Amino acid sequence: MIPASFEYVAPTSVEEALAALAEHGDDAKILAGGQSLLPVLRMRLNAPEWVIDLGRIESMRGVRDGDDHLAIGAMTTHDVVAHDPLVAEHALLLTKAVTQVADPQIRHRGTFGGALAHADPAGDLGACVLALGASFVVQGAGGTRVVPADEFFVGLFETAISEDEILVEVRLPKRPGWGAHYDKFVRVAHQWPIVAVGATVRMDGDTIGEARIGLTNMGSTPVRANAVEDALAGQPATEDAVRAAAELIGDGSVPVEPPSDLNGDADYRLHLATVLTRRAVLAAAGRNGTQA
Ligand SMILES: Cc1cc2nc3c(=O)[nH]c(=O)nc-3n(C[C@H](O)[C@H](O)[C@H](O)COP(=O)(O)OP(=O)(O)OC[C@H]3O[C@@H](n4cnc5c(N)ncnc54)[C@H](O)[C@@H]3O)c2cc1C
C-alpha cells in the first residue's frame, strides 16, 4: 500500500529537529532509517501529518571514543556499528549481535538508535544494551538527560523517550577483560529471533567473577536475568554450574513473560532461553572454544 500523504522536513541539526517536533507535536513522527516506520506507514497503521527525517544530522552519526565509554550516535547504521573496530574492541557483544540483525540491505539503512527507540521486544539490540550496561542520551527543548538501560524500556514498543524528545546517543562503558557472546535462535537466516540471549562475563581465574545477561523476545521488553547473574558470581565456569544458574529462568526467578505464536509457545521459549543462556555464558567465559 502507499502511505497516506504527509509533509516532510529534513533538519540539519538536533535543535532544528526538536523545534519541528515542538511545532507539530502529536501530528509528527521521527524518521531514522525507515526500516520499521515505513512499513507501518505503508500499512496505514499510523498516518502522521509530518515526517521529520533525521538523516541529514551529521552530529548524530558515528562511533566516538569517550575515554571510559564508547558513544554511538543514534543515526549510526547497523552496518557501521558491525564493522567499527572500537565497538569490536570494547563492546564485542554488540558486534556479534548486530551482524545478525536482518539482512545486509536492512543493516545499511536501519540505525542503532532507531532500532532501540522502536523497542520491538524481538529486536536483537535491547538485550545487548542491558548486558553492556548502556546509557541513553535523550535531548529535549530543556537540554539532555541520561537514562540507564535498565530504565529505558518501559513497555511494548515503549521507551523512556518522551514525545518531545529525540534519542541522540547511546553510551557503552568500556569493560576490559570481559568476554561476550550472543546466541540467537532462528528457523531460517536473517529472521527476527524466536529467542536470543546476550551474555558478558568477567572471569577471575577459573571462577566467574561477574556476569550480565539480557534476554530477547521473552516478554514485552528486553529482560535482564539478574537472578542468573547473581547465581553465577563465584561459580566455576563448568557446564553443571552454569546449567543450574540458567534454570532459574524457568522457575519464576527471572521476570519473563514469553509470548506464544506460530514460532513457538511460551514453554518452548522458556526452554530455549535456558539452553541459550547456558551456551552464551559458557562461550563468553571462554568455554566451548567460542570465547570472544
Ligand atoms: C524485514 C525486516 C527484518 C528485520 N529483522 C530484524 C532482526 O532480525 N533483528 C532486529 O533487531 N531488527 C530487525 N529489523 C528491524 C531493523 O533493525 C530496523 O532498522 C529497526 O527496527 C528500526 O530502525 P530504523 O533506523 O529503520 O528506524 P525507523 O524505522 O526510522 O524508526 C523506528 C521508530 O523509532 C522512532 N525513532 C527512530 N529514531 C529515533 C530517535 N533518534 N529518537 C526518537 N525516536 C526515534 C521512529 O519515530 C519510529 O517510531 C528488521 C526489519 C525488517 C524490515
Q: Of all protein residues, whose CA lies closest to atom 9 belonging to ligand 1?
A: 101
Do 75 and 66 meet the contact criterion of CB atoms below 8 Å apart?
no
Output the ligand 1 site: residues, CB below 6 A: 29-37, 54, 74, 101-102, 106, 110-111, 113-115, 117-118, 120, 123-125, 161, 166-167, 192
pLDDT averaged over every residue in the chain? 96
- Among protein residues, the one with the nearest Cα to ligand 1's atom 2 is 102
Collapsing DSSP to helix, strand or coil, 159 comes out as strand
Q: Is 263:193 a contact under the CB 8 Å cutoff?
A: no
- Over 50: is that where the pLDDT of 290 sits? no
pLDDT of residue 200: 98
pTM of the prediction?
0.96
- Please give the Cα distance from 178 to 214 (Å, whole number): 15
Q: Which of 190, 203, 126, 194 has the alpha carbon at shortest distance from 157?
A: 126
Residue 60 CA: which ligand 1 atom is closest? 41
Long-range contacts of 107-111 (CB under 8 A, 24+ apart): 107/77, 107/78, 107/79, 107/82, 108/77, 108/78, 108/79, 109/33, 109/34, 109/35, 109/77, 110/32, 110/33, 110/35, 110/36, 110/77, 110/78, 111/32, 111/33, 111/74, 111/75, 111/76, 111/77, 111/78
**Three cell numbers written together for 44:** 496505514
> 1 falls in which pLDDT band (50, 70, 90)?
confident
Q: Specify the pLDDT at position 10.
A: 98
Residue 154 corresponds to which cell in the numbers above? Answer: 518501559
Q: How far is the CA of 119 from the centre of ligand 1 (A)?
A: 8
Atom of ligand 1 nearest to the CA of 37: 29
Q: Ligand 1 pocket test: which of 14, 31, 36, 130 has the largest number of ligand atoms within 8 Å of its C-beta?
A: 36
Q: How confident is the model at residue 159 (pLDDT cuts 50, 70, 90)?
A: very high
User: How far is the centre of ligand 1, averaged over its atoms, from the C-alpha of 35 (Å)?
Assistant: 5
The residue nearest atom 19 of ligand 1, judged by CA position, is 110
